[in-house]
């Protein structure tokens, strides 16, 4: 397989052909913020947090494959500004109240805010009407905490295969739904596997009966399942 | 179908002309004013007076001056050509006898009908290239299109040129995408052509979603075969065998006419297998949009044809490389395809002589708003906005003045009256913070509130955002709120700063063109009409109501 | 999704039996069959379904999902993405005000106000057949005749708020 050499934050790096900038950055210990990315799932390039400057142009690191003579910058004043704004927009978009959230302390949105130095939200809260659905016997969804990363949709489609979740509506009215927008407990395609809960970055999807700060996203099990499926290796 | 049969059809149609031909516009605008009942009334009146064999009534396509619809033209024939046309506007079905009377009495008579000068400034300043047959041919009869030369360029391409030569003609013509982005068409064709042979697609983007734009609609309703011919030539050039014509669902008449046109072309073998006994097999299927502006974006359109939610995906890869179902796909706008037959007929060099250095050919505009004459306008690139608005459009209605001209729809901007001498070409408009866009041109009078215009377009973008990426989904909503508060005088100076910061974010980080260009109307109005924003915001410490003028409190 | 693949089982199977032998379901099934149940024909079939039934609903979507062998959430997601698909049955009359740019500049706000006041005056006891739905359209593409309102499919251009009021009142006075 061909090797590509390019510049990453001023350093020459060699990478395998076909790798994405995000993969190479992580291998090199360079941290690029992400939210809609989850190892093993198809990329969508939707959150725009992983935007990096490639030869001066903004490109999503998760989808951009390495090429010769790329000059990549993962940090700049501009990128820092944009990343903060995106996180603030997310906090203002729905009703995120960390203090009463099951994922308090185990939340990628919180982690991003801390890493990026977001200490206040400059945008007024949109305060949309968002429901909580506890009809499923094992899990629940609180749309107030959803960031529409669609990781639940992708894990259910690509790894479990049931495709119970999808996105309905458009723009700020978009919501993740099960089957024909039925209560989750009535969604006959759901296998109750819980992968969507493992994949969710925030406290939107959770185990019923867990309380504030009690969520522990089981990424390891999810990762092991993906590796088993794709590489036929079982990490026990 | 071979060339001899095509010619025979053309000749038969050309011979089948009556001494007088009455053309009545049946494009959507005039139809909504009753042109169908007018046609019925004319036929009844003519039959009643025993004139049916001397006078033929034809339902034709767009005759341009939409604000005066229904439009009627009386043409006196001399053999196979027309000798003298008389044009009438706002003709009601009840005036059918007067029209017949005008034929009987000859030129000079008007019988109380509204006479329009066919050589008046609205028409004289236009140059018909794309629209050369609109308003002359009957869109629902393929014979009518063939009689005016339809499908001859396709024959020429198939029998006189190889695919590479066709691409070279298009490249040399300098034609650029007419959907708004202005990407060199020949380059796009060359890219698809260069992809390895295999399954390839040709897609016509007829999802004209810009509010205020109806150029593509007019072309599709008036000369559908021209677009089909352009697509077939493209298919030959790039090596495709399947085409899709994606029309927005809000255009039922265009859909019906296209459906008829495709069926007729199939029936006579101008679409389908072995066209003109060549190796080209090309079939065209219609796909109907369902009300999503974002589906005008190439990758969203592809997803819609694939039966999915119309959300875009990041590019690269570009559709030319990986489009429909992962195959190389050529996507062009209606007007772009409509230019192809005439480029092949008259030659690339002829086309390149029209327009400016970097913007070749003509552009069709939909002129509307606070202007005396509104309708469809085709001019060479490089003509000034002033010529279009004042000479062709007749300027704003009596007593008022132009404040600004909006081009490019929700992705565009407003050009203030002082800059109306700007030539209409891709680069000049871009330099002023607007874009050519698909051709919507709305004239705005002094009463129009520019902050209101920015809010209007932002609401549109917010409602049409697909919701996939954060900057567009959440950013347009916040921008809309800000603009709404500014318009109502409830915003502070800090809010203006937040507005500009957000515009920067949405413009540079959105996933697709919808989000990336959503801030354009805001940035454009801030650039040229900043005082309208400034006068409405309060400084920190002031109460919001002090921004509202004393008289209106 | 990859290229559409021929499903060798399709011809041997029939679609779910239509509830009550409704003719409309038969026509819908015929439409799906005409498209050979290819998943990319979903939007075309949803158009047909809406034409036949007036609006979409969960049972209809489930029937379509089964016919195409597509996940129900996928079909629901597609149906709710596009503005022209509706889940609300239309009233006896529909008044659609165009809110395109040219219409906006020529006063569509005043038309919306007038129409809004008239439709708000309908009481809850108005029978469904007599209800007047107020809708907006992004742009109907007839900007030369701005401002535009569509009354039950009939396009009326260069219309004033007074004329709109007269026409809608005409519907209300006739009771249907």
Q: Is the pLDDT of residue C17 over 60?
A: no
Those residues with Cβ within 8 angstroms of residue B441's Cβ, 6 or more apart along the chain or in another chain: B212, B365, B366, B367, B368, B377, B388, B405, B406, B407
pLDDT score, position A217: 85
Which of A84, A48, A47 lies closest to A202 in space, CA to CA? A47
Q: Do B145 and B226 meet the contact criterion of CB atoms below 8 Å apart?
A: yes
Q: What value, to the nearest 5°, has the Cα angle with vertex B462 and ends B456 and B464? A: 105
Distance CA B306, CA B346 (A): 37
A58 touches chain B (CB under 8 A): yes
Q: Is the pLDDT of residue B455 over 90?
A: yes
Which of B61, B52, B48 lies closest to B19 in space, CA to CA? B52
Q: Do A215 and A207 meet the contact criterion of CB atoms below 8 Å apart?
A: yes
pLDDT score, position C15: 41
pLDDT score, position B505: 98
Residue of B nearest to C75 (CA): B308
pLDDT score, position B78: 61
Q: Is the pLDDT of residue C18 over 50?
A: no
pLDDT score, position B82: 56
Alpha-carbon gap: C73 to the closest alpha carbon of chain A (Å): 4
Between these two residues, B291 and C138, which has the higher pLDDT value? Answer: B291
C-alpha gyration radius of chain C: 20
C129-165 tens-digit pLDDT: 677 888 888 777 777 788 989 888 788 888 999 999 9
3-state secondary structure A126-189: CCCCCCEECCCCCEEEEHHHCCCCCHHHHHHHHHHCCCCEEEECCHHHCEEEECCCCCHHHCCC
A126-174 tens-digit pLDDT: 999 999 999 999 999 999 999 999 999 999 999 999 999 999 999 999 9
* Helix/strand/coil for B284: strand
Lowest mean pLDDT among A149-163, B71-85, B89-103, B279-293: B71-85
**Which chain B residues touch A170 with a CB distance below 8 Å?**
292, 464-467
Contacting subunits of B (3+ beta carbon pairs below 8 A): A, C
Q: Which pLDDT band holds residue B354 (cuts at 50, 70, 90)? A: very high
**Which chain B residues touch A82 with a CB distance below 8 Å?**
505, 508-509
C-alpha gyration radius of chain B: 25
B32-70 tens-digit pLDDT: 888 999 999 999 999 999 998 899 999 999 999 999 989
> Residue C81 and residue A170: Cβ atoms within 8 Å?
yes
> Residue B290 and residue C83: Cβ atoms within 8 Å?
yes
Q: Do B334 and B180 meet the contact criterion of CB atoms below 8 Å apart?
A: no
Could you tell me how far CA B168 lies from the centroid of its own chain?
25
pLDDT score, position B289: 94
* Helix/strand/coil for C94: strand
Distance CA B374, CA B441 (A): 10
pLDDT score, position B181: 86
The rounded percent of chain B whose pLDDT value lies above 90 is: 88
Minimal Cβ distance to A123: which of B314, B478, B510: B478
Q: Helical H runs in B280-418? A: 298-305, 334-346, 348-352, 385-386
* Helix/strand/coil for A234: coil
Omega cis (within 30) before C147: yes
- Classify residue A65 by its DSSP letter: B
Minimal Cβ distance to B456: which of C104, C137, C157: C104
Contacting subunits of A (3+ beta carbon pairs below 8 A): B, C
Count of beta carbons in the 10 Å neighbourhood of residue B264: 20
C46-71 tens-digit pLDDT: 999 999 999 999 999 999 999 999 99
Q: Is the pLDDT of residue B263 over 90?
A: yes
pLDDT score, position C1: 38
Give the residue from B25, B66, B292, B307 with the most C CB atoms within 10 Å of its CB, the best one to mutate: B307
Which C residues, 125 through 154, put their C-beta within 8 Å of a C-beta on chain B?
A: 137-146, 154
Q: Which pLDDT band holds residue C2 (cuts at 50, 70, 90)? A: very low
**Which chain C residues touch A187 with a CB distance below 8 Å?**
73
Distance CA C139, CA A236 (A): 59
Strand order in the sheet with B413-416: B375-380, B362-369, B440-445, B402-407, B413-416
Which of C154, C83, C156 lies closest to B460 in space, CA to CA? C83
Which of B292, B225, A217 lies closest to C77 in space, CA to CA? B292
**Mean pLDDT confidence for B131-140:** 95
C110-136 tens-digit pLDDT: 999 888 888 777 766 666 667 788 888
Biggest alpha carbon distance in chain A? 54
Give the residue from B206, B213, B218, B290 with the most C CB atoms within 10 Å of its CB, the best one to mutate: B290
Distance CA C154, CA C157 (A): 10
- Classify the C-alpha dihedral C61-C63-C68-C72 as positive or negative: positive
The rounded percent of chain C whose pLDDT value lies above 70 is: 82
Omega cis (within 30) before B155: no
Q: Which pLDDT band holds residue B547 (cuts at 50, 70, 90)? A: very low
Identify the bridge partners of residue C150 per DSSP, sorted by sequence position.
C96, C155
Which A residues, 167 through 226, put their C-beta within 8 Å of a C-beta on chain B?
A: 167, 169-174
**Mean pLDDT confidence for B377-393:** 96
Question: What domains can you pick out in chain A, each with its CATH number?
Answer: 3-75 (3.10.20.740), 82-219 (3.30.70.20)
Mean pLDDT of chain B: 93
Alpha-carbon gap: A129 to the closest alpha carbon of chain B (Å): 15
pLDDT score, position C11: 36
A43-100 tens-digit pLDDT: 999 999 999 999 999 999 999 999 999 999 999 999 999 999 999 999 999 999 999 9
Which of B422, B437, B262 lies closest to B356 in space, CA to CA? B422
B196-226 tens-digit pLDDT: 999 999 999 999 989 889 999 999 999 999 9
**Which chain C residues touch A169 with a CB distance below 8 Å?**
80-81
pLDDT score, position B541: 59
Q: Is the pLDDT of residue B553 over 60?
A: no
Q: Do A149 and C59 meet the contact criterion of CB atoms below 8 Å apart?
A: no
**Which chain B residues touch C156 with a CB distance below 8 Å?**
32
> Residue B478 and residue A124: Cβ atoms within 8 Å?
yes
Alpha-carbon gap: B481 to the closest alpha carbon of chain A (Å): 9
pLDDT score, position A201: 97
C-alpha dihedral (B328, B329, B330, B331), degrees to nearest 10: -150
Count of beta carbons in the 10 Å neighbourhood of residue A49: 24
Q: Which helix (H) or strand (E) holds B9?
A: helix B3-15
Residue of C nearest to A157 (CA): C71
pLDDT score, position B81: 54
B267-282 tens-digit pLDDT: 999 999 999 999 999 9
In this structure, the strands spanning B375-380 and B362-369 are antiparallel
Whether the complex's predicted ipTM surpasses the cut of 0.85: yes
C-alpha gyration radius of chain A: 19
pLDDT score, position B79: 52
């Amino acid at each position: 397989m061909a090797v590509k050499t390019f510049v990453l934050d001023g350093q020459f790096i060699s990478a395998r052909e076909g790798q994405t900038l995000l993969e190479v950055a992580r291998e090199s210990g360079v941290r690029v913020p992400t939210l809609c990315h989850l190892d093993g799932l198809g990329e969508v390039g939707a959150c725009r947090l992983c935007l990096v400057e490639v030869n001066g142009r903004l490109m999503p690191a998760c989808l951009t494959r390495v090429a010769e003579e790329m000059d990549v910058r993962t940090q700049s004043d501009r990128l820092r500004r944009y990343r903060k704004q995106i996180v603030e927009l997310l906090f203002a978009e729905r009703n995120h109240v960390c203090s009463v959230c099951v994922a308090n302390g185990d939340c990628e949105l919180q982690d991003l805010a801390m890493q990026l130095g977001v200490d206040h939200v400059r945008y007024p809260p949109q305060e949309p009407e968002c429901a909580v659905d506890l009809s499923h016997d094992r899990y629940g969804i609180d749309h107030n905490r959803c960031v529409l990363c669609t990781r639940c949709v992708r894990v259910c489609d690509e790894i479990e295969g049931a495709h119970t979740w999808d996105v309905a509506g458009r723009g700020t009215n978009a919501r993740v739904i099960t089957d024909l927008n039925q209560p989750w407990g009535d969604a006959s395609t759901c296998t109750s596997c819980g992968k969507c809960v493992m994949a969710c970055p925030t406290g939107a999807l959770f185990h019923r009966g867990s309380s504030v700060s009690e969520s522990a996203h089981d990424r390891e099990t999810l990762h092991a399942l993906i590796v088993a499926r794709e590489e036929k290796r079982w990490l026990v | 179908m071979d060339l001899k049969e095509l010619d025979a059809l053309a000749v038969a149609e050309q011979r089948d002309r009556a001494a007088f031909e009455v053309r009545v516009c049946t494009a959507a605008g005039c139809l909504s004013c009753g042109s169908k009942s007018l046609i019925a009334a004319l036929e009844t009146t003519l039959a009643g007076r025993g004139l049916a064999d001397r006078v033929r009534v034809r339902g034709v396509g767009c005759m341009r001056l939409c604000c005066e619809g229904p439009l009627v033209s009386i043409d006196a024939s001399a053999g196979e050509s027309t000798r003298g046309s008389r044009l009438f506007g706002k003709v009601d079905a009840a005036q059918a006898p007067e029209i017949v009377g005008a034929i009987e009495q000859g030129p000079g008579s008007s019988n109380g009908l509204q006479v329009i000068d066919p050589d008046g400034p609205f028409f004289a300043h236009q140059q018909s290239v794309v629209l050369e047959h609109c308003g002359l041919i009957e869109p629902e009869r393929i014979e009518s299109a063939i009689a005016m030369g339809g499908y001859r360029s396709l024959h020429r391409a198939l029998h006189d040129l190889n695919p590479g030569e066709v691409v070279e003609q298009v490249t040399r013509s300098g034609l650029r995408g007419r959907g708004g982005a202005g990407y060199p068409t020949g380059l796009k064709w060359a890219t698809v052509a260069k992809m390895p042979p295999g399954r390839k697609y040709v897609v016509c983007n007829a999802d004209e979603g810009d509010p205020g734009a109806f150029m593509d609609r007019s072309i599709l309703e008036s000369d559908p075969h021209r677009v089909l011919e352009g697509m077939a030539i493209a298919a030959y050039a790039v090596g495709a065998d399947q085409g899709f014509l994606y029309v927005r669902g809000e255009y039922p008449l265009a859909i019906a006419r296209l459906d008829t046109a495709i069926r007729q072309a199939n029936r006579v073998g101008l679409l389908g297998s072995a066209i003109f006994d060549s190796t080209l097999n090309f079939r065209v299927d219609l796909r109907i949009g369902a009300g999503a502006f974002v589906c005008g974006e190439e990758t969203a359109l592809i997803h819609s044809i694939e039966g999915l939610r119309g959300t875009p995906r990041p590019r690269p890869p570009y559709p030319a490389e990986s489009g429909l179902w992962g195959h190389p796909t050529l996507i062009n706008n209606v007007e772009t395809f409509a230019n192809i037959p005439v480029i092949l007929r008259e030659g690339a060099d002829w086309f390149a002589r029209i327009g400016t250095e970097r913007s070749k050919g003509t552009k069709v505009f939909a002129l509307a708003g606070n202007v005396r004459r509104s309708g469809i306008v085709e001019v060479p690139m490089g003509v000034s906005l002033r010529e279009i608005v004042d000479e062709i459009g007749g300027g704003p209605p009596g007593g008022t003045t132009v404040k600004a001209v909006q081009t490019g729809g929700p992705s565009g901007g407003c050009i203030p009256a002082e800059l109306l001498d700007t030539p209409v070409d891709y680069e000049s408009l871009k330099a002023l913070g607007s874009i050519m866009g698909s051709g919507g041109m709305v004239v705005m009078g002094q009463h129009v509130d520019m902050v209101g215009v920015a809010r209007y377009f932002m609401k549109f973008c917010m409602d049409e955002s697909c919701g996939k990426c954060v900057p567009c989904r959440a950013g347009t909503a916040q921008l809309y709120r800000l603009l709404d508060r500014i318009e109502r005088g409830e915003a502070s100076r800090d809010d203006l700063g937040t507005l500009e910061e957000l515009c920067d974010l949405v413009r540079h980080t959105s996933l697709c063109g919808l989000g990336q260009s959503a801030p354009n109307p805001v940035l454009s109005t801030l650039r040229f009409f900043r005082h309208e924003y400034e006068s409405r915001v309060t400084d920190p410490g002031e109460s919001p109501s002090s921004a509202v003028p004393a008289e209106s409190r | 999704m990859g290229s559409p693949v021929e499903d060798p089982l399709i011809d041997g199977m029939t679609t779910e039996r239509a509830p009550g032998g409704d003719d409309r379901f038969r026509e819908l099934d015929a439409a799906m069959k005409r498209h050979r149940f290819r998943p990319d024909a979903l939007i075309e079939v949803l158009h047909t379904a809406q034409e036949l039934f007036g609006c979409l609903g969960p049972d209809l979507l489930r029937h379509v999902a089964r016919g195409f062998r597509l996940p129900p959430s996928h079909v629901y997601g597609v149906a709710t993405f596009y503005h022209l698909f509706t889940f609300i049955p239309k009233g006896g009359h529909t008044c659609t005000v165009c809110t395109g740019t040219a219409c906006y500049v020529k006063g569509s706000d005043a038309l919306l106000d007038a129409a809004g006041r008239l439709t708000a005056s309908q009481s809850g006891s108005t029978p469904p057949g007599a209800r007047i739905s107020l809708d907006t359209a992004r742009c109907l593409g007839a900007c030369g005749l701005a401002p535009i309102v569509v009354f039950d499919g009939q396009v009326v251009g260069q219309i004033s708020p007074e004329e709109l009021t007269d026409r809608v009142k005409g519907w209300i006075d006739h009771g249907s």
